[in-house]
Chain A
Amino acid sequence: DAGITQSPRYKITETGRQVTLMCHQTWSHSYMFWYRQDLGHGLRLIYYSAAADITDKGEVPDGYVVSRSKTENFPLTLESATRSQTSVYFCASSVGHQPQHFGDGTRLSIL
């Protein structure tokens, strides 16, 4: 879906570094989500946002920070990256309980 874009697509960094993953959507969807995908765990919700300046924790929020100053952007920051945060990260957006639209993902490796 061209309406939601994630950057970067791939990122390699070292433990202890701060990393920010970007997510931008052009649909003006009110709801946005961050997931991580790991083998055997499916998709796990990290954080979600119901609107600009409204965010809430998901299932696995520890070590992550989000902000949403504008409706279209929902960046995810790893304040001090750890190897356990190596994963594929997906951003998604939706209109309330309607189906979610996912970005292409960011593959993050932490050495």
Chain B
Amino acid sequence: GQQVMQIPQYQHVQEGEDFTTYCNSSTTLSNIQWYKQRPGGHPVFLIQLVKSGEVKKQKRLTFQFGEAKKNSSLHITATQTTDVGTYFCAGPLKGSGNTGKLIFGQGTTLQVKP
């Protein structure tokens, strides 16, 4: 069946270091969404990428959508303690049309040492 895999599962960095999480889909995706979940919180939407090769930036966060629309990455430059949390990628469930049904990756949990 359709799968969305994220690596790494966990990452510990020193504050100020960069961080990257990778998302790989078994199928081509029409779009990919990224969510952040703070410890004890709920997922919060960050961004959606739609076009092949698309790159979007939000301050220190850079999101990329692969040329084949099967992979994506989130890169954080100079991490801060406020970046702590779990980052999820999600794509439309195959065959779901415009229902909004998503399949999520397992998430990458980021810990930042001050």
Contacts and interface: CB of A to CB of B under 8 A. Distances in A.
Interface of A: 31, 33, 35, 40-45, 48, 50, 58-59, 90, 92, 94-105
A99 B46 CA distance: 9
Nearest to B101: A48
Nearest to B31: A97
Interface string B27-61: 00001010000000111110010000000000000
Contacts, number: 58
Interface of B: 6, 9, 31, 33, 41-45, 48, 88, 90, 92-93, 98-107
B98 A97 contact: yes
B107 to A, nearest CB: 5
A47 to B, nearest CB: 10
